[in-house]
């Protein structure tokens, strides 16, 4: 791939084994000013993602490397490495780029599984290209926002959140959180005992352009409780305020 001087807004990798879908998404994103890479299977996608990293590369390798991928649009039903497995591998390697899943499977269970393995958003086929572009724009905007100036460590009782290390301990034991779970917990810990409506949590964590519904919040709250609470059915940290939303502490 030859280097380009075009000032692209961002580089997006689209992974789908249907050529017509690849073509239509590529055209829509290119018209919006994005650079687009494509792959038709999970193995090729993983190669592109690994090659896009500048870490541990010499100058000559960097000169021939593909652009840094800023966003992944990922179909679930792809050959060699399935979408869920690919998503899981990316997160295990420590890559935090936004991931938007595309799938013909749109049940609540399917969406929950997709989010649980590390995706940031989930769009069900068939979808409108304008909605796809809007979701991409929202994910990229949130990714580019600078972190708020604050102490690198937040603590509330037995919960300690290390901002710069993307790490959380509870009662001295480290727990594993997805990017969205971490962002949600960070918001709670910055403003303990403040009550948040579900709609406000969606706006603050998922972004004002997020087109999903408030059930997403409930799902992530349930996951957080399972990781934070001694007894998730009787929480001491994340408290439900009936008729309104949630508070921390």
Segment 20-68, tens digit of pLDDT: 999 999 999 999 999 999 999 999 999 999 888 654 344 444 444 578 8
Where do the structural domains in the chain lie, given as residue ranges? 11-144, 153-248
- Asked if 119 and 101 touch (Cβ cutoff 8 Å), the reply is yes
Helix (H/G/I), strand (E/B), else coil: 69:
coil
Q: Please, what sign has the CA dihedral across residues 84, 37, 203, 143?
A: positive
Instruction: Extract the runs of DSSP E, i.e. beta strands, from the chain.
Output: 11-15, 35-39, 71-75, 99-103, 121-124, 153-156, 159-162, 167-170, 173-175, 195-197, 238-241, 245-248
- What is the pTM for the complete model shown? 0.59
Q: Which class in CATH covers the domain with range 11-144?
A: alpha beta
Domain 153-248, what architecture?
Orthogonal Bundle (1.10)
Nearest to 221 by CA among 169, 187, 183, 181: 181
- For residue 151, the model assigns a pLDDT of 52
Q: Place 18 in a pLDDT band, splitting at 50, 70 and 90.
A: very high
* Tens of pLDDT, residues 196-223: 888 888 888 877 555 556 678 888 999 9
CA distance 77 to 42: 9
């Amino acid at each position: 791939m030859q280097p380009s001087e075009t000032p692209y807004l961002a580089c997006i990798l689209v992974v789908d084994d249907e050529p017509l879908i690849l073509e239509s998404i590529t055209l829509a994103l290119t018209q919006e000013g994005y650079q687009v890479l494509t792959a038709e299977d999970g193995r090729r996608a993983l190669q592109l993602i690994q090659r896009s990293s500048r870490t541990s590369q010499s100058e000559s390798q960097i000169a021939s490397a593909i652009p840094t991928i800023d966003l992944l649009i990922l179909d679930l039903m792809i050959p060699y490495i399935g979408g869920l497995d690919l998503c899981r591998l990316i997160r295990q390697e420590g890559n935090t780029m936004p991931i938007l899943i595309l799938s013909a499977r749109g049940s609540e269970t399917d969406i929950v599984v997709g989010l649980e393995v590390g995706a940031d958003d989930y769009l069900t086929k068939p979808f409108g290209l304008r909605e796809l572009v809007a979701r991409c724009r929202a994910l990229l905007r949130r990714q580019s926002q600078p972190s708020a100036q604050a102490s690198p460590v937040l603590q509330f009782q037995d919960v300690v959140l290390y901002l710069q290390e993307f790490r959380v301990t509870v009662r001295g034991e480290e727990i594993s959180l997805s990017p969205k779970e971490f962002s949600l917990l960070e918001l709670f810990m910055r403003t303990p005992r403040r009550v948040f409506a579900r709609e406000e949590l969606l706006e603050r964590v998922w972004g004002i352009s997020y087109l999903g519904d408030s059930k997403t919040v409930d799902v992530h709250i349930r996951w957080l409780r399972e990781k934070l609470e001694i007894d998730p059915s009787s929480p001491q940290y994340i408290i439900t305020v009936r008729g309104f939303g949630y508070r921390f502490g």
